[in-house]
Amino acid sequence: MSSTRARRQTRLSRALGLALTPKAAKYMERRPYGPGEHGRARKKQDSDYAVRLREKQRLRAQYGIREAQMTRAFEEAKRTKGLTGENLIELLEMRLDALVLRAGFARTIAQARQLVVHRHITVDGKRVDRPSFRVAEGQLIGVHERSETMTPFQVAAAGAHRDVLPTVPGYLDVKIESLQARLVRRPKRSEVPVTCEEQLVVEYYAR
């Protein structure tokens, strides 16, 4: 099952031109062109719609969310004061699974989501099993005491994921050896380590 998921993520990464997992990143280094016999051929110019659609798909893939979740986040971002595109990414970044990944508790967004669903993650000491849970400023993310001795968390506590993850962003205060991370403030778009031209995403939904 995991190998099938890995292959699927690699194919999606190649299609989007964006490495979604460490394994996909290594694969794309070896084969920096599209899949199939025509992968190295010169591609025709994409339409404006195709460009915006792909950018929306790239953002969705980086957070591993469904279209309905993305649409709801966009509608909330549109109602929030400020630039809609920046608001959208900042709201997505406050999801519990995204912050579990940024803190270094997991190696990929899929693993982070799985840890949350399996009730290994707590917020202010209480178990939360919804990856979409919105973490508020000041809240403490941790690993449940019964889960701390599990191998994946021992690996994380040793900082083993740091070789494939971006530097911990400034909006998180992480004590990796204690498997704790606090959201000290709302993320700023410039700090969020996702690859996206958010204005194209806004234009896609505004069409």
pLDDT score of 40: 59
Buried-exposed string 176-198: b where 16+ CB fall within 10 A, e elsewhere: beebbbbbeeebebeebebebeb
Amino acid at 107: R
Euclidean distance between CA atoms 118 and 128, whole angstroms: 9
Q: What is the pTM of this model?
A: 0.84
pLDDT score of 162: 86
Euclidean distance between CA atoms 71 and 107, whole angstroms: 26
Amino acid at 91: L
Q: 89-100, pLDDT tens digit by residue?
A: 999 999 999 999
Q: How confident is the model at residue 1 (pLDDT cuts 50, 70, 90)?
A: very low
**Residue 156 neighbours by CB under 8 Å, 6+ apart:** 104, 105, 106, 176, 179
pLDDT score of 41: 58
Euclidean distance between CA atoms 178 and 186, whole angstroms: 23
Residue 169 tokens read as 């962003």
Q: 55-98, pLDDT tens digit by residue?
A: 999 999 999 999 999 999 999 999 999 999 999 999 999 999 99
Query: Could you give the C-alpha distances from 43 to 39, 47, 49, in angstroms and in order?
Result: 9, 12, 16
